[in-house]
Amino acid sequence: MPAASDFAQSIDEAARTLNKPRSLADTLQTIVEVACNSVPGFEHVGIATLARKGEIETRAFTGDLVLRLDALQYDLREGPCSAVLQGDDAVSVSHLRDEQRWPRYVPQALGAGVRSQLAVKLYLDSGTLGGINFYSTVHDEVSEDARALARLFATHAAIALGHAQERETFTEGLETRRAIGQAIGILMERYDMNEDRAFAFLVRASSHANIKLRAVAQELVDVGNTDHAS
């Protein structure tokens, strides 16, 4: 059995890896790869995020088995992955073949070769971000060490994910403001509008076409750039 110092080192290395600045997509993929290497007993790992409107999406994964079984659990509202997003902090299942709680999910998971499973919630004080889902097609037992390490890892992963989401939101905000500003400038020059009228024009176009304001602005900017290039 690995010593406590080995687990401490694994967590330390994982934390340093996760907290390097990177894009949201890269952060998500790094989380699943580091989780697969750090938590013993699992060969397949995925991370699902929870959107503000309640949609659940598996954003990064180590293989198609994860994608298929994650989606199945969220559709059926059964299984460890679903349970952690419905309230539990962590759910582990050894000897999946003996599990009685999820009669619709378990037969399909067994058919895919799953023998044990672990799901851990990702959350911060602001709320639930999603969950990390672990699957094994080799091992029947989920060890106590694996459960403890997964929960520690999830704490660091949630912090890294939260930071990545904040960076993406900030970047998107800057890009949106820049596109709208450029579009307003084009309208002011082309149609001799003042700034308020140009912005109102964009808002009406967005509402009429049922397209986000940023998309309308970006399309106008793209057309303007094409016109200048030609």
pLDDT, position 191: 86
Cα separation, 180 vs 113, in Å, equals 51
Residue type, 110: L
Tokens 């939260």 belong to residue:
162
HSE at residue 81, side-chain half, CA atoms within 13 A, is 30
CB distance 132 to 157 below 8 Å: yes
For the chain, which ranges sit under pLDDT 70? 1-22, 52, 227-230
Predicted pLDDT of residue 5: 47
Do residues 157 and 129 touch, judged by C-beta distance below 8 A? no
DSSP, residue by residue, the chain: ---HHHHHHHHHHHHHHHTS---HHHHHHHHHHHHHHHSTT-SEEEEEEE-TTS-EEEEEESSHHHHHHHHHHHHHT-SHHHHHHTT-SEEEESSGGG--S-TTHHHHHHHTT--EEEEEEEEETTEEEEEEEEEESS-S---HHHHHHHHHHHHHHHHHHHHHHHHHHHHHHHHHHHHHHHHHHHHHHHH---HHHHHHHHHHHHHHHT--HHHHHHHHHHHHHHHHH-
User: Which residue bears the tokens 């304001």?
Assistant: 213
**pTM reported for the whole predicted model:** 0.70
Which tokens hold the place of 171?
Answer: 């970047």
All residues at 6 or more sequence positions from 162 whose CB lies less than 8 Å from its CB, including other chains: 124, 126, 129
In single-letter form, the type of residue at position 102 comes to W
What type of residue sits at position 204? R
Residue-range domains of the chain with CATH: 4-161 (3.30.450.40), 170-229 (1.10.10.10)
115-152 pLDDT, tens digit per residue, is 999 999 998 887 888 899 999 999 999 999 899 888 88
| Rounded-to-integer distance, Cα 15 and Cα 121, Å | 17
